[in-house]
């Protein structure tokens, strides 16, 4: 079933999904026409997979006219990297990988642990600079976190990659201002107006393949700071933290060291759509330790050049 077809189950309003898809396609095409060297940030997570799916539709039957870029912390879930590689092989897009480890080895950043997530900013800015990218697509949505809700679809970044939330450009009637000087760039968020529920509804409607980690499975976990954390070679339980097995799934995936999971028996997309509709916690607020560092933690990182 595609979103152009009539729903037999009545689970979604397909006109709403068509509208979101059309808006995202318009934004992707606008960037391709207006910028010289765009790139799509791609991690193998659900939002970046949906964004790539939409971008491919925007140019079909032609090939995607820009590459995809993964900022690799080196602390990834194996299932996500496998899904990333399968998606790249199936779609034929050109994948670039910028490794945080390279910046650690070069002394540009210091791996002080436990999470490498904050180190991604330096690697991202280096990759954009080295390849001369002047626009970078991201899969961020406004419902993920309060700082993301402040950001426009076209997010201007200065020569240092910094974002100033008080000096954003107006976006009236879907008119986007991509003007920038050499060294500056624009972050572009075509999924800004989507919600987590919309993402999963679209995944169901378009039969989009995701990493298995998003679906309920039994996994060894432990509790830390009110979250369930999966036992991993990069995230062992500390002394005194009891390890047990639980049926869980991941609502968002990122660096292993800061991403939690939730108890769940939702093993199909339809199950997750229903579970998401009933949830009252944002996915990042419920399962991302890096967003709990302060009330303005995400905004502070975005000012420095984070996604």
Determine the 3-state secondary structure of 151 from DSSP.
Answer: coil
Does 34 reside within a domain? yes
Task: Give 260's contacts (C-beta < 8 A, 6+ positions apart).
Answer: 227, 228, 229, 230, 286, 287, 288, 289
Whether this model's pTM surpasses 0.95 = no
Arithmetic mean of pLDDT over the chain: 87
Give the tens place of pLDDT for each residue, 217-258: 999 999 998 899 999 999 999 999 999 999 999 998 888 988
Number of structural domains in the chain: 2
Dihedral, 241, 262, 20, 211 alpha carbons, nearest 10: 80
Q: What are the helix (H) ranges across the chain?
A: 14-34, 46-59, 78-91, 100-105, 120-131, 146-149, 196-206, 269-278, 283-287, 297-303
Question: CA-CA distances (angstroms) from residue 9 to 1, 157, 257, 268?
Answer: 11, 44, 39, 15
190 with 266, same domain?
no
Does 204 reside within a domain? no
113 with 226, same domain?
no
179 with 65, same domain?
yes
147 with 222, same domain?
no
Does 217 reside within a domain? yes
Does 55 reside within a domain? yes
pLDDT over 50 at 209, yes or no: yes
Does 231 reside within a domain? yes
Tokens linked to 152: 């426009």
The whole domain housing 85 covers: 14-198+296-303
137 with 264, same domain?
no
158 with 28, same domain?
yes
279 with 130, same domain?
no
pLDDT over 90 at 149, yes or no: no
């Amino acid at each position: 079933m595609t979103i152009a077809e009539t729903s037999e189950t009545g689970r979604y309003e397909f006109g709403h999904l068509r509208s979101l898809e059309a808006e995202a396609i318009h934004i992707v095409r606008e960037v391709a026409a207006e910028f010289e060297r765009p790139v799509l940030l791609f991690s193998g997570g659900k939002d970046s997979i949906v964004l790539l799916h939409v971008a491919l539709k925007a140019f079909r039957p032609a090939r995607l006219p820009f590459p995809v870029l993964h900022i690799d912390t080196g602390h990834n879930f194996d299932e996500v990297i496998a899904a990333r590689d399968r998606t790249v092989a199936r779609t034929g897009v050109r994948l670039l990988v910028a490794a945080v480890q390279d910046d650690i080895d070069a002394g540009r950043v210091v791996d002080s642990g436990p999470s490498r997530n904050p180190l991604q900013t330096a690697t991202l800015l280096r990759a954009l600079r080295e390849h001369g990218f002047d626009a970078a697509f991201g899969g961020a949505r406004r419902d993920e976190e309060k700082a993301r809700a402040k950001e426009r679809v076209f997010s201007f970044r200065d020569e240092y990659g910094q974002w100033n939330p008080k000096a954003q450009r107006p976006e009236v009637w879907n008119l986007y201002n991509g003007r920038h000087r050499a060294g500056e760039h624009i972050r572009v968020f075509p999924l800004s107006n989507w919600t987590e529920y919309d993402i999963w509804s679209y995944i169901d409607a378009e039969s989009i393949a995701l990493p298995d980690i998003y679906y309920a499975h039994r996994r060894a976990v432990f509790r830390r700071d009110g979250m369930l954390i999966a036992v991993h070679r990069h995230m062992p339980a500390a002394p005194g933290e009891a390890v047990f097995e639980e049926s869980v799934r991941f609502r968002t995936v990122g660096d292993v060291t800061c991403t939690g999971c939730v108890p769940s028996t939702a093993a199909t997309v339809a199950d997750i759509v229903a579970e998401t509709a009933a949830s009252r916690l944002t996915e990042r607020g419920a399962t991302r330790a890096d967003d709990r560092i302060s009330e303005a933690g995400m905004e502070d990182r975005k000012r420095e050049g984070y996604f």
